[in-house]
Amino acid sequence: MDEFLIGDTMTVTWINSDVTPTDIHCAVFDGANPETLVDSITMTASGNGHYWNWHTIPDTPGLYVVETLATIAARPFKRRIPYRAIIGEVD
């Protein structure tokens, strides 16, 4: 599982070939409370089936899940990426 410092930015990507999604977006959920929405992300098309956006890591350490949902050829597709938000060590 990836770890990110609180307040950092992660890049969320989706690469699709052949058929262009009619809808694509992301939601970030609290890993401890999967029903709690933390952030909603609109994906940006950058051409040739590539979609991306930035997500700022929450200020509260813990587990989170980025869920990307895409509708392609009238069928739903989902990808879930868990990560841990951590506090950096200070010397």
CATH of the domain at 59: 2.60.40.10
Residue 91: its pLDDT value, please?
Answer: 59
Task: Determine the Cα–Cα distance for residues 54 and 7; give it in Å rounded to an integer.
Answer: 12
Number of domains forming the structure of the chain: 1
Q: Domain of residue 74: give its range.
A: 2-86
Q: pTM (2 decimals)?
A: 0.84
71 inside domain: yes
Q: Are the C-beta atoms of 57 and 5 separated by less than 8 Å?
A: yes
pLDDT bracket for residue 1 (50, 70, 90): confident
32 inside domain: yes
52 inside domain: yes
Does 6 score more than 90 pLDDT? yes
45 inside domain: yes
91 inside domain: no
pLDDT tens across 9-64, in order?
A: 999 999 887 778 888 889 999 988 888 999 998 898 888 889 999 999 999 999 99
